[in-house]
A and B are shown apart, each in its own frame.
Chain A
Amino acid sequence: EIVMTQSPATLSVSPGERATLSCRASQSVGNNVAWYQQKPGQAPRLLIWGAFTRAPGIPARFSGSGSGTEFTLTISSLQSEDFAVYYCQWGVSFGPGTKVDIK
């Protein structure tokens, strides 16, 4: 069973700064990682699939990278609406999430 882990658990960032979130798979998953954003009281929203392909309507400040076991989601300049919890996913496994909050 492939297990997804994420770090850090919480990331405190000031608006306008860059945020870098990490996701690790317990064994190689190629480029098959997706990223989601979840705000309180809402369902998760797809941001990235295939490690780096943005979903329709997702702003260019969101970018994904990585392959094999190490993946990164970067938010280049945090906007107020970006403070949320972010999950990575492979197959049917989700990481535990990274909460991005205001510094």
Chain B
Amino acid sequence: QVQLVQSGAEVEKPGASVKVSCRVSGYSLSKLSMHWVRQSPGKGLEWLGGFDPEDRETIYAQKFQGRVTMTEDTSTDTVYIELSSLRSEDTAVYYCVIWEGSEDAITLVRGVQTGGYNWFDPWGQGTLVNVSS
């Protein structure tokens, strides 16, 4: 059974960067489509981006282009998300999640539905990032 364990809470000042990690156990990271979703306090779920292992391509939500970087280290089965130029609105719980299903993340985000399915499962426990001066 795949499990995702994330790094601990972070407190950062506006303008700084933060890097959150997510370690995968129970399956090979190289075969997984890892994504990141965040949740601002009292708010809903917002997708930041993800990695497609077949295309070896990372895709980011347009809102975060230029500020977010997702990387992986297959030697430790760990994925990372780094968000730069932090502002108070970035205060949120950040979750790593696995994209499952037959729909390809890259083509779906680019607007092409192929009639398949996708869902996010499992989720990491979440990492609180608090941006405060």
- Chain A interfacial positions (CB closer than 8 Å to B): 29-32, 34, 36, 43-46, 49-50, 55, 87, 89, 91-97
Contact = CB atoms under 8 A, between A and B. Distances in A.
29 contacts: A29-B113, A30-B113, A32-B103, A32-B113, A32-B118, A34-B120, A43-B95, A43-B125, A44-B45, A44-B95, A44-B120, A46-B120, A49-B100, A49-B101, A50-B117, A55-B121, A89-B120, A91-B103, A91-B109, A91-B118, A92-B35, A92-B47, A92-B50, A92-B61, A92-B108, A93-B47, A95-B44, A96-B44, A97-B44
A45 B113 CA distance: 24
| Nearest 9 CB-CB pairings of A with B | A92-B47, A43-B123, A34-B119, A49-B119, A46-B121, A94-B45, A50-B117, A91-B108, A96-B44
Given A31-B117, A45-B123, A89-B45, 6 more contacts: A30-B113, A49-B117, A92-B47, A93-B47, A97-B44, A97-B45
Contacts of A96: 44
Given A91-B103, A92-B105, A96-B44, A44 B117 contact: no
A55 B1 CA distance: 14
Contacts of B95: 43-44
B103 to A, nearest CB: 7
Nearest to A94: B45
Interface of B: 35, 37, 44-47, 50, 61, 95, 100-101, 103, 105, 108-109, 113, 115-126
A32 B105 contact: no
Contacts of B45: 44, 87, 89, 94, 97
A31 B117 CA distance: 8
Given A30-B115, A92-B105, A92-B108, A44 B47 contact: no
